[in-house]
Amino acid sequence: MSADLAAVDPADPADPSVPLPGPTLDDIRAARERLVGVVDVTPIQGSRYLEELLGAPVRLKVESLQRTGSYKIRGAYNRLSQLSPEERDRGVVAASAGNHAQGVALAARELGIKATIFMPIGVALPKLQATRGYGADVVLHGRVVDETLAAAGEFAERTGAVIIPPFDHHDVVAGQGTLALEILEQVPDVANVVVPIGGGGLIAGVASAFAQLEPEIGRRVRIIGVQAANAAAYPPSLSAGEPVTIITSPTIADGIHVARPGRLNFDLVQRTVDTVVTVDDDDTARALLVLQERAKLVVEPAGAVGVGAALAGSLRVEGTTVFLLSGGNIDPMVMERVIGRGLAASARYLKVRIPLPDIPGQLSTISAVIADANANVVEVLHTRHGLGLQISEVSIEIHMETRGQEHAEQVLQHLREAGYRPYLDTV
């Protein structure tokens, strides 16, 4: 699914005579000066696999290797560094389940500001430990992020602490926009940039910077946003011409699980982003697998959605394309599940159910058929209970490794030719 921004009320958003809201190019350049010595200039890496897939040169901007494991330190530090002495004395507060929390915590530590971070109960242990490790006071509150946000707001009212928003703020957007300056220096011929979208702070900063750089570089850099299909508030918001709140569903891309765009972010996206596409969790899981195997990179699901869109065939590009891998903070337990999901989505891990006569020797026979097809059995479950089974039948569930879609089809065909009735199941 995609939202072509050229089709959304072109008279107002596309009018170049109307100044862009939010940070100017000078603001973004000033933010970059503030970030010198604080953030890393993260590397650019090629990808032959994606180049062959897209038919265009591909570069990966590996912001997953940034301090705190994501781009969030850019906007957080830029915001905190501009607080007045009186505001610094009051301290700062933020609410986050992960990357924003770590960005604010580290920025506060670097600037000598007391930080209180509200995180939801059940937050991933590595993110909790990292946030505390950067020196922040962490308060666990609420089962959902809305409850956590409300608690942070109450804390700010009670103590006077300054709230640091995750995406909808001029200084935060300017900090994230520094990535555009790095990308242009590292990839001078960049033609397209593919950016994950949650609330929109990252893409607003990057797209706004490139739009303002256009007169200097003499060409248009196309900006493509990618959202998780289960939390895609931008397509309906762009169609409505204003931010709307959607009902979301769980997604492995929890870092961009946002139900409503930021106001400033939306205005900038509407003016400067070319296309927004969505990607489902299976393709995002496949993307994590590709990035680990082909690029040797650990990337969190939210940071891999752009690559997921490429694997899904949702991107049409010409010229050098940069994929912004926005973060690498993934819980090892989640990684294990996501890799399994990616293997299944790539047909490299099959789970099949097969009804069998309840007589000795069947498991040995069926294992030989699978072995002859060069697949590897990794787990077997056996039951006499199940809908659709005859009283003289049992059901066997076999998990096996294959080499991809074509090989998986060959294994299933071998089973059918041997007289079995395999039913493909999901992992």
Cα 148 from chain centre: 21
Amino acid (one-letter) located at 267: D
Residue among 22, 161, 53, 51 nearest 104 (CA): 161
What whole-number distance in Å separates Cα of residue 54 and Cα of residue 58?
A: 8
From 96, 237, 326, 346, the catalytic residue: 326
Residue among 43, 61, 324 nearest 196 (CA): 324
- The sign of the CA dihedral 284, 285, 286, 288 is positive
Residue among 50, 45, 44 nearest 290 (CA): 50
Strand partners, 222: 192
CA–CA distances in Å: residue 142 to residues 92, 150, 406: 20, 9, 46
From 61, 64, 72, 127, the catalytic residue: 72
Q: Is 64 a catalytic residue?
A: no
Cα 60 from chain centre: 14
What whole-number distance in Å separates Cα of residue 324 and Cα of residue 239?
A: 25
Opening angle at CA 94, ends 88 and 95, nearest 5: 170
What whole-number distance in Å separates Cα of residue 193 and Cα of residue 184?
A: 10
Q: Is 61 a catalytic residue?
A: no
What whole-number distance in Å separates Cα of residue 288 and Cα of residue 294?
A: 10
CB atoms within 10 A of CB 143: 10
Burial class (CB in 10 A: 0-12, 13-18, 19+), 392: exposed
Burial class (CB in 10 A: 0-12, 13-18, 19+), 198: buried
**Helix, strand or coil, per DSSP, at residue 301:** helix
Distance from first CA to last CA of the chain, Å, rounded? 25
What whole-number distance in Å separates Cα of residue 289 and Cα of residue 343?
A: 8
What are the residue numbers of the active site? 72, 326
